[in-house]
């Protein structure tokens, strides 16, 4: 996958070579998460080829945000490039990039909103219909587990990522 040296597609990302965590273990976990993100995008039927990947932010083993540029077939459910991928100890999700000023924190906030919609739908007995796809059965147990992870993201993780590092 080539990286564009001239201009990044979003201001708040870095070249994938800059993927370094707080220590060696964090870096290793983040690199595994990069592969998880690649795999998640590549398994979409409409994704023909990933051409670029950029590092957003994250905490190894918990959550990471990557930005992808890719070639896609025009199909129902396909995303336009570039698009974000959130991976970690939670359901993976692809989200559209909303512009150059989009940040990984913005993406995590949108992730939380989308997952909260799924949780509410499952709790209401609607089974997640009309919500983003979640790789878990739409049960109350899964909804409660996801709700706990969303709260962790909102209360602990997102505030950490807002701090200069």
Which tens digits make up the pLDDT trace of 74-92? 876 678 889 999 999 999 9
- Per-residue pLDDT, 149: 95
Of 149, 57, 54, the C-alpha closest to 105 is: 57
From residue 97, how far is each of 27, 103, 134, 149 by CA, in Å?
25, 9, 19, 23
β-pair partners for 50: 70
Residue 121 tokens, joined: 């739908």
- Per-residue pLDDT, 74: 80
Higher pLDDT, 15 or 163: 15
Q: Across 3-17, 18-32, 70-84, which has the greatest mean pLDDT?
A: 18-32
3-state secondary structure of 12: coil
Residue 35 has pLDDT above 90, yes or no: yes
Which tens digits make up the pLDDT trace of 45-54? 999 999 999 9
| Residues 53-74, mean pLDDT to the nearest whole number | 94
Residue 75 tokens, joined: 């199909």
- Per-residue pLDDT, 73: 87
From residue 114, how far is each of 4, 54, 133, 153 by CA, in Å?
30, 23, 10, 13
Task: Say how many CA atoms lie within 13 Å of 49 toward its Cβ.
Answer: 4
Residue 148 tokens, joined: 């706990």
């Amino acid at each position: 996958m080539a990286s564009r040296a001239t201009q990044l597609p979003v201001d708040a990302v870095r070249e994938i070579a800059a993927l370094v965590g707080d220590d060696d273990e964090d870096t290793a976990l983040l690199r595994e998460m990069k592969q998880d993100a690649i795999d998640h995008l590549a398994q979409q039927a409409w994704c023909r080829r990933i051409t670029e990947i950029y590092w957003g932010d994250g905490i190894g083993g918990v959550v990471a945000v990557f930005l992808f540029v890719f070639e896609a077939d025009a199909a129902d459910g396909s995303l336009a490039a570039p698009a974000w991928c959130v991976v970690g100890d939670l359901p993976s999700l692809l989200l559209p990039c909303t512009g150059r000023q989009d940040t990984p924190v913005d993406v995590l906030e949108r992730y939380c909103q989308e997952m909260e919609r799924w949780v509410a739908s499952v709790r209401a007995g609607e089974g997640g219909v009309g919500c983003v796809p979640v790789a878990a059965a739409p049960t109350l147990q899964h909804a409660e587990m996801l709700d706990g992870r969303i709260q962790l993201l909102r209360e602990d993780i997102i505030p950490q990522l807002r701090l200069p590092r």
